[in-house]
Chain A
């Protein structure tokens, strides 16, 4: 935690706390919307990413650390998250055939 963080007081943390709670509340509201599963998934995922970004940047103080650490953490995590998406086409193949094929 940098000296800047100590000087900024609890106010910023309270604002971030309220924002995270509000976004979490929004997720609960979205859950009761009538939308397709994929639409709902995208909305939930974006809101969760926003919550996580607030948590990492401000609660975990990544924003006030050296930019090199921010870049290091982001690249590592985002790269692995991206490579994990490799399995999705297979998940679709099991229920709906090979993606983009004419088989249904």
Chain B
């Protein structure tokens, strides 16, 4: 067997190797990304818990849960609209899939705007990364870094939804790509389920 044949054989055997877990490679890549990103958020939340636990004058500045409740509702609903879009893409209904993906992006934008409004209110009340009127300045840095990291993920998700949505509409992407993007969007929603109780609800002023 010549050297060329050996190389070709190796290449072919690589190409013929069954996909791990019987899922497409890009889906596996997204799962690996989600696992690593989950660790990032977990590390941030544990670090926040460490600070909260070890700091006596930890502030509890939140008086109302209305805004965060609306934000939660919007984000969970956006997961449902993403699922509807994904199902439409699987069924081959491009127009419907495109509309629901854009609807998901719109809900993501709304979530981001509400988040920014909340931030601006807190900044007006004197809460910055370094100090706040209620207690230790560590609260501001923990709050803005964790919610900021989540908002960054939402923003990236919205951009991805718009780009992938239009490319799917244009025929460059297929239903698999929508599903992979859906995994990311659901993950962003899932992280919020931990951010809300730990960052907001445990810091309510009773």
Contact = CB atoms under 8 A, between A and B. Distances in A.
Interface of A: 1, 6, 10, 13-14, 17, 20-21, 24, 27-28, 30-32, 34, 37, 40-41, 44-45, 47-48, 51-52, 55-56, 59-60, 65-66, 68-69, 72-73, 76-77, 80-81, 84-85, 87-88, 90-92, 94-95
Q: Is the interface of A mostly helix, strand, loop or mixed?
A: helix
B74 to A, nearest CB: 11
Nearest to A34: B206
Interface in B98-115: none
A32 B201 CA distance: 9
B174 to A, nearest CB: 13
Taking chain B's interface residues, is the majority helix, strand, or loop, or is none over half, making it mixed? helix
Contact of A48 (B49, B193, B206): B193
Interface of B: 21-23, 31, 35, 38-39, 42-43, 46-47, 49-51, 53-56, 65, 69, 72-73, 76-77, 79-80, 83-84, 86-87, 90-91, 179, 182-183, 186-187, 189-190, 193-194, 196-198, 201-202, 204, 206
A85 B196 contact: no
A40 B80 contact: no
9 contacts: A6-B87, A24-B196, A27-B196, A32-B206, A44-B201, A66-B22, A80-B42, A84-B46, A91-B51
Contacts of A95: 53-56
Nearest to A44: B197
Given A1-B179, A65-B23, A73-B35, A91 B190 contact: no
B53 A91 contact: yes
B189 A55 contact: yes
A7 to B, nearest CB: 11
